[in-house]
Amino acid sequence: MDPKDLEKQRQPEEPRYLSFPHLSNGTLRDGKPALNKYSSTLTNGHDFPGAQAMLYAAGVPDEHAMKNSPQIGIASVWWEGNPCNTHLLGLGKEIKTAVLRQGMLAWQYNTIGVSDGITMGGEGMRFSLQTREIIADSIETVTCAQHHDACIAIPGCDKNMPGVIMAFARHNRPSLMVYGGTIQPGYSETLRKPINISSCYEAHGAYIYKTLKSEHDPNITPDQIMEDLEKHACPGAGACGGMYTANTMSTSIEAMGLMLPNSSCIPATSPAKMRECVRAASAIKVCMENNITPSRLLTKASFENALVMMMILGGSTNAVLHLLAMAGTAGVPLTLDDFQRVSNKIPFIADLAPSGKYFVADLFDIGGMPSVMKLLVAAGLLDGSIPTVTGKTLAENIEPFPSLPQGQEIIRSLDNPIKATGHIEILRGNLAPDGAVAKITGKEGLKFIGKAMVFDKESQLDAALNAGKIPRRENLVLVVRYEGPKGGPGMPEQLKASAALMGAKLTNVALITDGRYSGASHGFIVGHICPEAAVGGPVAVVRNGDTITIDAVENRIDMDVSDEEIKKRLAEWKAPRMPVTRGVLAKYARLVGDASHGAMTDLF
């Protein structure tokens, strides 16, 4: 048999290409602009014969398709080895098939990612945040270099989503996002309850402090419980299942109009996710026909919607960082004060993990995001008039969906909130003159005063926790510094420490850092302290025993040290040697801005 015939047998058959019969040299018959606005630079005439030769080799079937058909980039953040991303190649293939059936050319490609869950607590976590910039750079590069007319992006994990939206803002060509979907909850036989990735980290704290046990069977050992959790917390493909960073970003972006209805809540393994992929092809065509570009969707009104959704659902502190970066890239004015303003007026009503009981897959079962949005639009809290990728307004998109069912317990009524205002608090004070971000649901109280216990790296705190050296006898504020965007470098998340504290039930402890927390973190935590220690922020000169007050009512974070003493300490302070001097992290540390402006690398 001819080797080429053998290769054809191995590959799944692509649908037969259907070119647009109504396209002719740059204009539609009804006079609208052609959909191949950008690709026609290469494909019309003979100015780029080499480009056309390569496109024919890549799969353009004939001259008519070359001259007339739009080219759609399908950008997935696919890679193996992480449940959030491992299935995205398949979703991309489904979208490609649907795009071809719409009579357009489709070019599938992917960019890179890092698993936050796998790298959490290790040196690999320093590489995570900077992947947001790599993803944005990659998609912008391919879209512009290859003259794609539109882009459909398929992210799965935390940094993926802001990365693709930042790319959309840069190239500003018709674009939409298809979220890879949330994971289904796992189940622990030893604990007899639903579990998720956060359960592993919290159990680790209990394991260290020798309090891990099964309430149902005293004969089950702590090691057996840990093995059970490790095997069953992640039952398949999909992003971490609570209202952690991935689901916070997907629900926020859906509220901005950049996704198809309910994309943010459809589980990764649900047949509905594959149907969404098919619908994406017709939606991107609508965007192209109506010139619905990211600049028309990324507006102050749409970002306001994102902030409302974040507060309603109890979303991750990381969303502050990412939404600031998305807005900065799009040229939309958004500041820390906007987050506080919205948090002051929006109630927290979702009983979702990490602070609550349910998961996003459960939310899908009661109607998902459109049903939540119907409640908020009706109450005047969400702007239903914003445009979306469907060509309809947000209110028109959600109109066919049912309202939240009576008796459900996941989303409370607006007059019976978990907390009357939002859980995100922007704090300032002599410890964070340029701002810090706290995630306070109210369950932990609204004020904490304790003595500082200082760690110059997360690894030092992890070692102290592993050794059981965090005492229970007095209120402590654990200070983790030199973990900011520059100092980390990479501003690593610190779920391992925060979850261990929760698992060990160290309720006498608050945790503050110039680094970040995972969306799965909860407890009395403050992150994004700015300026960070590495650039000489006051957090660099906190000393063991200093009294620190965290006040979510007055929105302050202060150490009981006079201004004169802080100036004296800073005058004596010497910047530590950078932990890396070459490679991608060193480059990132040189380019990155501060957390209060989104930790962007393209500030001007």
505, with CB counted inside 10 A (0-12, 13-18, 19+), is middle
C-alpha distances in Å from residue 392, one per residue of 12, 173, 282: 35, 18, 13
What's the 3-state SS for 349-362? CECECCCCCECHHH
DSSP string covering 372-393: HHHHHHHTTSS-TTSB-TTSSB
Task: Check residue 534 and report its DSSP letter.
Answer: G
Distance between CA atoms of residues 348 and 565, nearest Å: 39
113: Cβ contacts below 8 Å, ≥ 6 apart: 77, 79, 82, 84, 85, 131, 135, 156, 157, 159, 160
Distance between CA atoms of residues 373 and 379, nearest Å: 10
Distance between CA atoms of residues 308 and 422, nearest Å: 9
170: Cβ contacts below 8 Å, ≥ 6 apart: 136, 140, 329
How many Cβ atoms sit within 10 Å of the Cβ of residue 11? 7
Name the E strands within 90-142: 105-110
Task: Check residue 545 and report its DSSP letter.
Answer: T
C-alpha distances in Å from residue 197, one per residue of 35, 131, 400, 553: 44, 21, 34, 32
308: Cβ contacts below 8 Å, ≥ 6 apart: 255, 342, 346, 376, 381, 382
Q: Taking the mean position of all CA atoms in its chain, how far away is CA 260?
A: 17
Exactly one of 518, 521, 562, 596 is catalytic; name it.
Answer: 518
91-101: b (≥16 Cβ within 10 Å) or e = bbbbbbbbbbb
Distance between CA atoms of residues 597 and 590, nearest Å: 16
369: Cβ contacts below 8 Å, ≥ 6 apart: 251, 254, 255, 261, 262, 264, 265, 363
Which run of H or of E encompasses 512? strand 509-513
589: Cβ contacts below 8 Å, ≥ 6 apart: 485, 486, 488, 489, 490, 578, 580
For the chain, give percent helix, strand, coil, nearest 5. Answer: 40, 15, 45
Structure tokens at 114: 């890092």
Give yes or no: 198 in active site. no
Q: Which of 292, 304, 311 is nearest to 333 (CA)?
A: 304
Residues known to be catalytic: 518
